[in-house]
Chains A and B, each alone.
Chain A
C-alpha cells in the first residue's frame, strides 16, 4: 500500500490558515513582548488579511472531492460575518479588557482561534471536521468566558458553560456516531446520498436527534437554553456579544446547512419538533425577559427568543425561508453584538452597569451609547427602519408564503410582547434625570466609533437593504438544494 501525501489546495483554506497563523503569531508576540497592544494589532491584522483572503474566494467553487473545506457563497458570506464579528469584539474589548483584568495577551488570540472554529464549522464537509470545529469554538469560548479570572461571576459562568457544554458535546458525539452507523460515512454529501436512497434509517433519526441536542445547546434553543442567561450574564460583556453574535450564529448557520443539504430528506419528519422548539424558544425567551433586572440577562433571554425566530426558517426551509434566516442571522449578529457592545462601553469605573436601574437617564450622560443601544433595541424589537424589521419581515413573509400562518402569528405576537422590555429599557434611558445629572464619563474612542458604525449599519440596512439582500440570495443559492 502506497502512501502518497495528498495534494492540499492551500488556497481553499487560506483564510483559515491566516487566522490560525496570526493567532499563533499573536501568542508569540505576547510571549516575547508582553504588550497587549501589539497582540491586539497583530490579531486585527490577521483578521484583516483573512478578510482579504475571503474576499479573494468570492465566486470560487471547490468540488467536494478536493477538500473537506467547502467554499461557496454561503461560506464566504458567513466567513465575512465571523471575521467582522471577531474584529468588532476585539475593538469593544480594547478598554474593557484593561479595565476588568483580562489577560489580553491570550484573550485576543483565543478570539481568533474561536473564529477559526466558526469558519471551519460553516465550511466543513465532514462530520469529523465539524465536530472538531465545534469543539475548537466551544473550548475557546469556555476559556474566554473564564478570562476575568478574579470575578466570581465569570468563574461561575465558565464552569457552568464548560460542564453543560461538554455534556452537550457528548450528545453531539453520540449522535454523530449513530448517523455514521446508519449511513456508513462521515461525508455530508454521502450522507445525503445514503439518506435519499432508501427509507430514512431509524438510527439516523435518533442520531439526528442527538445532534440536535448538541447543536441546539450551542444555539441555546429551548429546552437546551438554560445555560445561556447565566453564561451571558457572567461572561465578560464583549464575550457575551461574541457568543450571541458569533458562536450562536455560526452554529445556527451550520444547522441550517445541515437541514438544507445532508438532512433534507428527513426534514419533513422534523417539522413538528422544530415547530414546537421554535415556538417555545420565542415564548420562553420573550416572557422570561419581561421582568429581568439585569440588562445582560435580559439580552440573553432575548437572544433565546431570536433563536426561536430563526428556527421558524428551519421549520419552513424553502429558499425564501433560508434567505430570511441568513438575513436574520446577519442582522442579529450586528445587532446583538452592538447591544452587548453598548453595555460593555458603559462601565462606570470598575463595575459594569448591569442593573436596569443604572440606565436611568443614560441618554443625558452617554448620548452615543444610549443612542446606539436604542437603535439596537429597536432593531431587536423589529421596528421599521432598522435592520431587525427587514429581517423579521422577510422571515414572517416566508412563513406566510409557505402557509405557516400560525407560526407567523405567534411570531408577531411575540414581537409585540418583546416590545415591552426593549422599550422599557429605552424609556429608562431617556427618562430625564432628577436634579443634577450624572457627569458624562468619557468612554474609549475606539469602542464608541465601532458602536456608531454598527448603529449606522443597522439603520442603513433597515432603510435600504437591497444590496445585502442581493448577497443573501447568492449565499443561499449555494446551499438551497434542488430537493426542496
Chain B
C-alpha cells in the first residue's frame, strides 16, 4: 500500500476498480458463473472501499488547509475557450461521500449475492451494479461540473437499467422509463446551469468557480444558476414536484432500491447543492426555494407514506421525505447537517430496505404489508435489524437519525422560523408513525400469509447486522456540542462550506446590523472558526438574531431536541395504538372513512401522477401524433404529393392530346402557326 501523499495519485482507482469489475461482468460474466461474478462484483467494490479508507486515513492526517487534492487525468473536451479536463477533486465532502458510497455499496453487493442467487441474469445485475458504483464515485469525486455530469447521467442510466432489470414486467419497463425521463427533465436544467456557469465564470472547475463567486456574478445571476442546478437536484433526488418516479422505481430488485434509491444516487442532489453551496449562498432567494421545496416534499411524502400498503413504497416515500429534510437543511443554511443526515439516512434506509428485501424474499416477492404479519417469530434477525433501522429513522434519541435530524430541526427553528419548524416536527412524528406502522403490521399481529418461507442466508444477514451497527453508531460522528459531543462531521466538512453551520437568511432581510452580525459570529462558536467570514454571511447571521430570540443558545437547542424526541416517540406510540393496541377496533379504517378526502389524496400520492399524465404525457403523445398527421403528412407530404401528383396526372393528360389523327396534328400545327404569326 502506498503511504503518504502518493496515495492520492491512486485516487482515480477508486472509481476505476468498479469500472473494471463492471467491464469484466459485462464481457465475461455470462461464461464465468455466479461465483466468479460475485467475487469480482463484490471484490472490486470492496477494494475500492478499502482504498478509500486508506485515502481517508491519509487525508484525515492532513492539515485542514491542505484538505483539497486535485488530480487531473487528461484533457477531455477542449474547444476554443471551453475546457473540461477529466479531473478529480478530493475534499472533505467528497471524502465523506466516497467512503460512504463505497462502503454501503460493498455491503449491498454482498447482500445481493444472496438476494439474487437464483436469478438468471446474475452477471448482468452485477454489471449494472458495479457500473453504478463507478458512476456514483465519479460523481462525488468530480473536479469540475462536466465530470460530475458524467456521473450524474451515468447513475441515472444505471438506475434506469436496474429499475427495468426484470424487463418482462410491464410495470418495471414503465417505471424505468419514467425514472429516466423525469430525472432527465431535471438534468436538462442542470445542464443549462452548467453552461450558464461556464459562460459566467469561463471555467467549470470547482475550485475556480467556488473560489470567489461573489466577485464574478451578481445576485440575480447567482439565483438563476442556483435554481437551475437545484432543479437538477430536485429531479435526481425526487423532490416535489419531480418525485413521482421514485415510488415506481421500487420495481427494481430490493438491494438496488436500497443502494440507489435510498442510500446513494438519490442523495446526489443533496450532494450537488451542498457542493454548489457557495453559489446558493449568494442568493437568499434560492435558499428559500430550496428550503420550501424540501419542506413541502418532506411533508407531502410523509403523508403518503402514512397510508401506503406496499412496504417498499412506504420506504420510498419515506426516502423522499428524508431527502426533503436534507434539502430543508440546505435551505436553512445547514449543509453540514444535510450531509450528516445524508449519511445517517443512508445507513438507516439501506438497512430498512435490505430488511424489507429480506422480508420480500422470504415471502416470495410479496410486498403488501397487509399480507404479512407476525413475521417477528419467523425471521427474527431481520426483525431486529429492521427495528433498529426504524428507530434510527424515526429519530429516537441515541440512534443515528436522532442527531442529524435534530441538527436540521434546530437549524430550521433558528433560520426558518417557527412555522417551518412546526411543520417539520409534525413530519418527524409522521416518520415515526409510518416506519413503525410497517413493523407493527408486518412483524406483529397474526400471520396473514401462507407461503413457504425462505429464511435469509448469511450473505444477507451479515450486511444487515453491519448496517444496523452503523445505524446505531453513525450518529456519534456528529453529536452536537450541547450534548457534549464534538460534532466532528461538521468540523470536518467546514472547509467546504466555509463559514457554514446555522447561518442562512431565510425569510429575513439581508440587511443586518454589523453589531448583531459580529455577535452572531461569536456565538456560532468553534465550528465557524478559521473560516473567512464574508460580509454577506455576517449580514445573513444578523437576520437570525433579528427574530429577537433571547433564549440562550444551549437551552434552546436542548428544548428543541426534547420536543423532537417526544414527537418521534409520539408517532411511534400512535402507530402502536393504531395497529397493536386498538386491536379489533380498526382505528385506521374508521379514520380513513372519516377523512375520506384527505385519505384519497394521500393514497393517490397527491395526484401528481394523474396530473402529469394529463398535463404532460397525454398532450405530448397527442401533439406528436398531431404533428405527424397534420404537419408531416397533411402539409409537407401533401405538398410533395401534390406536386408529384399533379405532374403525374399532367403526364396522364398531356399525351391524351396526342389523338393519333393526322388532321388533328395538322390543326395544332396551324394553330401554332397562327399564334406565332399573330405575335410577330
Q: Point out the residue from A224, A270, A287 that lies within 8 Å of B650, measured CB to CB.
A: A287
User: In whole angstroms, what is the CA distance A209 to B680 when docked?
Assistant: 8
CB pair A160–B647 under 8 Å, yes or no, is: no
User: In whole angstroms, what is the CA distance A210 to B677 when docked?
Assistant: 8
User: In whole angstroms, what is the CA distance A98 to B85 when docked?
Assistant: 81
Nearest residue (CB) in A for B665 is A226
Identify the stretch in B255-263, B523-531, B652-660 within 8 Å (CB) of chain A at 4 or more residues: B652-660
B-side contacts of A370, CB under 8 Å = none
Q: Point out the residue from B650, B672, B673, B680 that lies within 8 Å of A269, measured CB to CB.
A: B680
CB pair B651–A226 under 8 Å, yes or no, is: no
CB pair B677–A209 under 8 Å, yes or no, is: yes
Q: Point out the residue from A159, A167, A269, A273 that lies within 8 Å of B669, measured CB to CB.
A: A167
A-side contacts of B665, CB under 8 Å = 160, 164, 226-227
Q: Does residue A440 face the partner (Cβ distance < 8 Å to B)?
A: no
CB pair B668–A164 under 8 Å, yes or no, is: no
Q: Mark B665-680 against chain A: 1 for CB-CB distance below 8 A, else 0.
A: 1101101110011011
CB pair B651–A289 under 8 Å, yes or no, is: yes
Q: Which of the listed residues A163, A212, A227, A287 has the most CB atoms from chain B within 10 Å of its own CB? A: A287
A-side contacts of B668, CB under 8 Å = 223-224, 226
Nearest residue (CB) in A for B662 is A163
CB pair A209–B673 under 8 Å, yes or no, is: yes
| 24 A-B contact pairs sorted by A residue (CB < 8 Å) | A163-B662, A171-B673, A206-B677, A206-B680, A209-B676, A209-B680, A210-B673, A212-B676, A213-B672, A222-B672, A224-B672, A226-B657, A227-B665, A229-B655, A229-B658, A230-B660, A284-B654, A288-B654, A289-B651, A290-B650, A290-B651, A291-B648, A301-B655, A417-B647
A-side contacts of B671, CB under 8 Å = 223
Q: Point out the residue from B658, B673, B676, B679 that lies within 8 Å of A230, measured CB to CB.
A: B658
A-side contacts of B581, CB under 8 Å = none
CB pair A291–B669 under 8 Å, yes or no, is: no
B-side contacts of A168, CB under 8 Å = 669
User: In whole angstroms, what is the CA distance A288 to B658 when docked?
Assistant: 10
CB pair A287–B654 under 8 Å, yes or no, is: yes
User: In whole angstroms, what is the CA distance A284 to B662 when docked?
Assistant: 19
CB pair A292–B655 under 8 Å, yes or no, is: yes
Known: A168-B669, A230-B660. 19 other contacts (CB 8 A): A160-B662, A163-B666, A167-B666, A167-B669, A171-B669, A209-B673, A212-B676, A213-B669, A213-B673, A213-B676, A216-B672, A224-B668, A226-B657, A226-B658, A230-B658, A273-B679, A284-B654, A288-B654, A291-B651
Chain A nearest Cβ from B645, distance in angstroms = 11
Q: Mark A196-232 against chain B: 1 for CB-CB distance below 8 A, else 0.
A: 0000000001101110110011000011101101100
Q: Does residue B664 face the partner (Cβ distance < 8 Å to A)?
A: yes
User: In whole angstroms, what is the CA distance A270 to B651 when docked?
Assistant: 29
Q: Mark B330-371 against chain A: 1 for CB-CB distance below 8 A, else 0.
A: 000000000000000000000000000000000000000000
B-side contacts of A269, CB under 8 Å = 680
Chain A nearest Cβ from B678, distance in angstroms = 9
Chain A nearest Cβ from B433, distance in angstroms = 74
A-side contacts of B652, CB under 8 Å = 291
CB pair A287–B647 under 8 Å, yes or no, is: yes
A287-302 residues with Cβ-Cβ distance < 8 A to B are 287-292, 301
A-side contacts of B679, CB under 8 Å = 272-273
Chain A nearest Cβ from B520, distance in angstroms = 78
A-side contacts of B673, CB under 8 Å = 171, 209-210, 213
The 3 closest A-B pairs by CB, nearest first: A290-B651, A223-B672, A226-B665
B-side contacts of A289, CB under 8 Å = 651
Nearest residue (CB) in A for B661 is A160
User: In whole angstroms, what is the CA distance A208 to B650 when docked?
Assistant: 32
User: In whole angstroms, what is the CA distance A301 to B648 when docked?
Assistant: 15
Nearest residue (CB) in B for A291 is B651
Chain B nearest Cβ from A227, distance in angstroms = 6
User: In whole angstroms, what is the CA distance A229 to B648 when docked?
Assistant: 18
B-side contacts of A159, CB under 8 Å = 662
Nearest residue (CB) in A for B660 is A230
B-side contacts of A292, CB under 8 Å = 655
Nearest residue (CB) in B for A224 is B669
B-side contacts of A270, CB under 8 Å = 680
Chain B nearest Cβ from A218, distance in angstroms = 12
A-side contacts of B655, CB under 8 Å = 229, 288, 291-292, 301
B-side contacts of A213, CB under 8 Å = 669, 672-673, 676
B-side contacts of A301, CB under 8 Å = 655
Nearest residue (CB) in A for B650 is A287
User: In whole angstroms, what is the CA distance A23 to B47 when docked?
Assistant: 101
User: In whole angstroms, what is the CA distance A222 to B668 when docked?
Assistant: 9
B-side contacts of A171, CB under 8 Å = 669, 673
Chain A nearest Cβ from B643, distance in angstroms = 10
A-side contacts of B657, CB under 8 Å = 226
User: In whole angstroms, what is the CA distance A235 to B70 when docked?
Assistant: 88
Nearest residue (CB) in A for B664 is A226
B-side contacts of A291, CB under 8 Å = 648, 651-652, 655
B-side contacts of A217, CB under 8 Å = 669
Nearest residue (CB) in A for B678 is A209
Q: Point out the residue from A164, A212, A216 that lies within 8 Å of B662, measured CB to CB.
A: A164
Chain B nearest Cβ from A416, distance in angstroms = 10
Q: Which of the listed residues A163, A223, A270, A292 has the most CB atoms from chain B within 10 Å of its own CB? A: A223
Chain B nearest Cβ from A296, distance in angstroms = 14
User: In whole angstroms, what is the CA distance A168 to B673 when docked?
Assistant: 11
A-side contacts of B654, CB under 8 Å = 284, 287-288
Nearest residue (CB) in B for A272 is B679
CB pair A164–B647 under 8 Å, yes or no, is: no
CB pair A164–B666 under 8 Å, yes or no, is: yes
CB pair B648–A205 under 8 Å, yes or no, is: no
User: In whole angstroms, what is the CA distance A146 to B676 when docked?
Assistant: 32
Chain A nearest Cβ from B609, distance in angstroms = 52
User: In whole angstroms, what is the CA distance A391 to B665 when docked?
Assistant: 31
Chain B nearest Cβ from A467, distance in angstroms = 38
User: In whole angstroms, what is the CA distance A432 to B558 when docked?
Assistant: 89
User: In whole angstroms, what is the CA distance A210 to B647 when docked?
Assistant: 32
User: In whole angstroms, what is the CA distance A217 to B679 when docked?
Assistant: 19
User: In whole angstroms, what is the CA distance A222 to B672 when docked?
Assistant: 8
User: In whole angstroms, what is the CA distance A212 to B672 when docked?
Assistant: 10
A-side contacts of B669, CB under 8 Å = 164, 167-168, 171, 213, 217, 223-224, 226
A250-286 residues with Cβ-Cβ distance < 8 A to B are 269-270, 272-273, 284
Nearest residue (CB) in A for B673 is A213
Q: Which of the listed residues B662, B664, B666, B668 has the most CB atoms from chain A within 10 Å of its own CB? A: B662
Nearest residue (CB) in A for B669 is A224
A-side contacts of B647, CB under 8 Å = 287, 290, 417, 420
Q: Which of the listed residues B648, B651, B676 has the most CB atoms from chain A within 10 Å of its own CB? A: B676
User: In whole angstroms, what is the CA distance A222 to B655 when docked?
Assistant: 13
B-side contacts of A273, CB under 8 Å = 676, 679-680
User: In whole angstroms, what is the CA distance A146 to B647 when docked?
Assistant: 35
User: In whole angstroms, what is the CA distance A163 to B666 when docked?
Assistant: 9
B-side contacts of A205, CB under 8 Å = 680
User: In whole angstroms, what is the CA distance A460 to B665 when docked?
Assistant: 40
B-side contacts of A167, CB under 8 Å = 666, 669
Q: Mark B622-652 against chain A: 1 for CB-CB distance below 8 A, else 0.
A: 0000000000000000000000000110111
User: In whole angstroms, what is the CA distance A275 to B185 when docked?
Assistant: 60
B-side contacts of A229, CB under 8 Å = 655, 658
A107-154 residues with Cβ-Cβ distance < 8 A to B are none
Nearest residue (CB) in A for B672 is A223
Nearest residue (CB) in A for B679 is A273
B-side contacts of A224, CB under 8 Å = 668-669, 672
Chain B nearest Cβ from A137, distance in angstroms = 19
A-side contacts of B650, CB under 8 Å = 287, 290
Given contacts A210-B673, A212-B676, contact A288 B666 (CB under 8 A): no
Chain B nearest Cβ from A219, distance in angstroms = 13
Nearest residue (CB) in A for B656 is A288
Nearest residue (CB) in B for A301 is B655
User: In whole angstroms, what is the CA distance A227 to B667 when docked?
Assistant: 12
A-side contacts of B680, CB under 8 Å = 205-206, 208-209, 269-270, 273
